[in-house]
Amino acid sequence: MPDVTVVGSANLDFVVSVDRLPAPGETVLGGDLVIAHGGKGANQALAASRAGASVAFIAKLGRDGHGDEIRRHLLASGLSLDAVLEDPAAPTGVAFIVVEAGGRNQIVVAPGSNLRLSRGDLEPFIFLLQGCRVLLTQLETPMETVAAALDQARRAHVVTILNPAPARPLPPGLYPLLDYVTPNETEATALSGIQVTGVPSAREAAWWFLERGCQGAIVTLGEAGAVLATRGGHWHCPAFPVDAVDSTAAGDAFNGVLAAGLAQGRPIEEALRWASAAGALACTRRGAQESIPDRSELEAFLASHPWQAPAQIR
């Protein structure tokens, strides 16, 4: 059985670097087009695998050239295709990404076959949902599929993580299925209605998730770190300072390594340390999956960067 099962999306990314992000209606000339591999599910599955976890990836691709390329890449990356399905009627998902010099980005996704991953598609793979240690999912596949995966994992007392990206309203019954929800500032604001601008408001938003039934919430704040809330209290976890060039997939690296750490039995504070290192390293490189570090890189980074223990906040 896998350490981590990931249910989610796989895309090809079309990436252009620009000096600055365009305003609405504005055309900005950029650099060369880079075609890379992405999709939040595939990114997070690869991050967990590179961190040393055994991973099962449940996804759906189109029967097209983009899908063939992703299949080859997943196999070359050490991920199994046993639970990667094929849809003959929908194209493989693609994402269009614009990245400015400082690392910020804008992303538009055409989900294609990702939105055809159905609840029924999960039936042959219930053993992967219930036999793993951690289930990790996101919101680039249908909500009913996400909910069904989380429900199956919860029945087997598997640790569940939802990265609620891209943000959209969640059914009330989903929150009690979650051990951890991991929104960034934008997602926490959209879901909770609380404007998250720093640690105090992130703490308030994190508590909002707990009030709705989540066992834990981690609100990520970029260079300001993250706020962890559990039934036992609230903590501010600092970020590792780095020179960021591209934040694409930094959140996915964080979530995948967080899942791997929890699956490997690390306490949440230690899993957060590894996850924060992965997110920081991903920001120092361009691309999505190309930017995700492996275990040896994480170990070297952590050995050379002191970590400030999370501070409890009230």
Catalytic residue positions, numbered: 252
Contact 273, 299 (CB under 8 A): no
Distance of alpha carbon 258 from alpha carbon 276, whole angstroms: 8
Distance of alpha carbon 214 from alpha carbon 234, whole angstroms: 14
Distances in Å between the alpha carbon of 208 and those of 146, 187, 190, 218?
A: 21, 13, 12, 12
The contacts of residue 256 (CB under 8 Å, 6+ apart) are 4, 6, 43, 44, 45, 46, 47, 48, 49, 50, 51, 136, 278, 292
DSSP string for residues in 113-180:
GGGG--TGGGGGGHHHHHHSSEEEE-SSS-HHHHHHHHHHHHHTT-EEEE---S-----GGGGGG-SE
Distance of alpha carbon 238 from alpha carbon 7, whole angstroms: 29
